[in-house]
Amino acid sequence: MDNASSTGIQYLKFLFDNDGQADSLRQKLVDFFPALVYVYDTDKKQISYINKKLTDLLGYSFEDIQNWDNDFLKLIFNEDIEAVKSALDKFDELPGETDFYGFDCRFNHKGGDWRYFHAQGVILQKNDKGKPSSLLFVAQDITESCKSRDEIKAMKELMRDNEHMLQFGSWSWNLENNTLDWSDGIYDILGYSREDNEVQKTLAFVKSQIAPKDLQGLKQTINGAIQEHTKFQHQFAIKRKDGKEIVLLTTGKILTNADGKAIKVYGTSRDITEQASFNEALLHFKSTQLERESFLTFGTWESGADASNFIASDGLLQLYGYNPSERAQLAITEAFFNKHLSAEDLAKLKQAREDALSSNDVYVVEYAITTASGEEKKLESFAKIIRNENNEPVKTYGTTRDITLLKNYEQSLESKIRELNRSNKDLEEFAYVASHDLQEPLRKLTTFCERLSSKYAAELTTDMRLYVERIVSSADNMRILIDNLLEFSRVTRSANQLEPTDLNAIIKEVKQDLDFRIEETSTTIVIEQPLPQIEGIHSQIRQLFTNLLSNSIKFRTLGVQTVIHIESGTATKEDKEICHLPTSKNYHRIEVRDNGIGFEQEYAERIFQIFQRLHGKVEYPGSGVGLAICRKIAENHHGKIYARSTPGQGASFIILLPK
């Protein structure tokens, strides 16, 4: 407490202690005092007196104080109330009534702001317990001086916070005495503090921390700037206290004296490790992206509402016959790429966009271009139109790929498919005609053999009769083979329409057709649950199940009752993958399972080929066409059939038909 203030408060104490002093005179003297003077009643925690400076300094009237019930704390800024309460408690500890105690706090101004005050207090009275009951205070407004001090402090703190937040620091190099200085930000960047003894503000220390590979380049940059008196910027790696290497970007300028001699270098250094890492990753990504686009022959692009605002990837430039390194010399706009299209294809491209604008904002279009080198290409673009919050189109993202090879392959494949279809059709017609035409000579052969046997029976020797029987038997086998071949041809050539077909009714009809063989072999047919209704050709589906059930009866295990199970469900993913069917579509799964002799699984594909047999004709008669017909019927219905079996444990035939 300065002497002037001490004298002033002592004088004021004298005025308040002297009860004989006229109140009006005391009021005038105190109001004249150039500070806020007030008396605080510690028992009531109220202001018992305050001078007119209340109005001059804080804008309040005496009525305002009375409306607060003279509550002193109403004057104190909310954040300082606890500190003021603590300061008031200090007066209990003062040794004598002439001792003073001071503190700083903020007083609320009526205008809504606050003012800084330095308050000094002295004890006026004590109660019967010896505790202060009345305190006299003189509070001087120190707002302006505090603001200046706080502003300087705040500016330094702000600078310090900015350096820490933006990860940069400032430094200077005095060229005349070869000394260095730097801010707290440099300490932060390097992981040190001002208290670290190992930090030396010397060139030797700094050089020891810079990565050797970057040191020479940094020297050349700074020395060149010193010689030319120019600004400079350089990126280099430096080691932190924890041994981690970071990347700094240093920017500096040269300070010269009146004679033009360089005397100091000022600069800032910023930690750009993340940015450098990002830039490195970005370069790698761009390089990888270009390799990917080049390998897969595609490019990406972005078009704004303004057709001149067009962004193209390096891959797109390559598609059109340009070198990406020439990008800077190219005026890349939408029109730049459109000039490579014919008028017809350009109109098709624009129409596709117009159609997308009125539908789902997505379009796919194929078109031809002539590249910068004169090469003809076929391209396909897939694009998505982006709209703003007002549903206005503002941008289009797209991918364009080279489909030249694909189109050439498709054309070649289509040509081969047409040729194959023609060949198959010719073969089917030949098989049908040949089979049909063979029927007549075969009938004559059988007829003449029968006449020979009956007319010349007495003259035929035993060997002759045996030969005739073999001819007739072979002719019968030939007839069965021809019938089966004709049936296969009919199935292949069928163009019947699909219609709702109840598999339960089909199985009932098949059982009736095979009734004699089922009864003869004591075969049991078990249908696990009602079979579904499908879209099919009734006669073909009936033929399919007739062939399968006939096979199960034919290849039964002797001495074991034949049981055939028929069950249905939904095809699994595995079923569809085995048959190379699309996994996204749903299929019925009908399984015909028996307990017959079975076969090796390695023959599961072979048994569906025409004329292929796993057993001799004597033991198991047949033509080897039945299962080939089954496969053809399944394919006619856009489905598949496959088999599973283990020798001695029966066979399962799984049919997949679209739902």
| Residue 365: how many other CB atoms lie within 10 Å | 20
In whole angstroms, what is the distance from residue 26 CA to residue 52 CA?
A: 12
Q: Minimum mean pLDDT among 278-287, 299-308, 484-493: which range?
A: 484-493
The pLDDT of residue 545 is: 93
Mean pLDDT of the chain: 83
pLDDT band at residue 623, thresholds of 50, 70 and 90?
A: low
Q: Of 47, 63, 64, which Cα lies nearest the Cα of 110?
A: 64
Residues 544-576 have pLDDT tens digits of 999 899 889 988 888 889 999 999 999 999 999
Share of residues in the chain with pLDDT > 90 (%): 25
Give the domain ranges of the chain. Answer: 3-141, 150-271, 278-402, 408-489, 496-658
Cα–Cα–Cα angle for 623, 629, 635, rounded to 5 degrees:
160
**Cα–Cα nearest to 625, from 511, 493, 482, 495:** 482
13, 9, 14, 54: which is closest to 31 by C-alpha? 54
DSSP for 62-109, please give it.
HHHHHHTTTBGGGGB-GGGHHHHHHHHHGGGG-SSTT-EEEEEEEEE-
* CATH code, 278-402: 3.30.450.20
Q: What is the largest CA-CA distance in the chain?
A: 179
Rounded Cα distance between 204 and 556, Å, is: 97
Residues 339 and 370: their CA atoms lie apart, in Å, by 9
| Domain pair 150-271 / 496-658, same fold | no
pLDDT at 248 (0 to 100): 93
DSSP string, 231-250: -EEEEEEEE-TTS-EEEEEE
pLDDT tens-place string over residues 400-446: 999 888 888 888 888 888 887 776 676 666 666 666 666 777 778 88
- For residue 472, pLDDT over 90 is answered with no
Query: What is the per-residue pLDDT across 177-200, written as a single tens digit (0 to 9) for each?
Result: 988 888 888 888 898 888 887 778
Q: In what order do the strands lie in the sheet with 245-256?
A: 179-182, 168-174, 262-271, 245-256, 232-239
Give yes or no for residue 224 having a pLDDT over 90: yes
Give CA–CA dist 21/44, Å, rounded: 25
Q: Is the pLDDT of residue 11 over 60?
A: no
The Cα 236–Cα 6 span in angstroms is 62
- Architecture in CATH for domain 3-141: 2-Layer Sandwich (3.30)
Question: pLDDT, tens digit, for every residue of 489-518?
Answer: 666 656 667 889 999 999 999 999 889 889
> What DSSP string describes 487-555?
HHHHHHH--PPPEEEEHHHHHHHHHHHTHHHHHHTT-EEEE-SPPPEEEE-HHHHHHHHHHHHHHHHHT
pLDDT at 250: 92
Which residues have a Cβ under 8 Å from the Cβ of 221 and sit 6 or more positions away?
Answer: 232, 233, 234
Two tokens at 44? Answer: 């009531």
Q: In whole angstroms, give the CA distance from residue 139 to residue 269.
A: 47
CB contact set of 638 (below 8 Å; sequence gap of 6+): 657, 658
Higher pLDDT, 61 or 161: 61
Q: Between 5 and 537, where is the model more confident?
A: 537
pLDDT at 315: 87
* pLDDT value for 615: 62
Architecture per CATH, domain 408-489, reads as Orthogonal Bundle (1.10)
Residue 212 in this model has a pLDDT that exceeds 90: yes
With bands split at pLDDT 50, 70 and 90, how would you rate the model's confidence at 1? very low
91 Cβ contact partners less than 8 Å away, ≥ 6 residues apart: 42, 101, 121, 123, 132, 135
Sign of CA dihedral 366, 371, 377, 382: negative
Superfamily (CATH H level) for 496-658: Histidine kinase-like ATPase, C-terminal domain (3.30.565.10)
Q: Residue 347 pLDDT > 50, yes or no?
A: yes
Q: Answer whether residue 487 shows pLDDT above 70.
A: no
Q: Quick one: pLDDT at residue 20?
A: 45
Say which residues have a Cβ less than 8 Å from residue 162's Cβ, sequence separation at least 6.
Answer: none
For residue range 77-101, what is the model confidence (pLDDT) as tens digits?
A: 888 899 899 888 888 887 765 678 8
Model confidence, pTM: 0.41
Does the domain at residues 150-271 carry the CATH identifier 3.30.450.20? yes
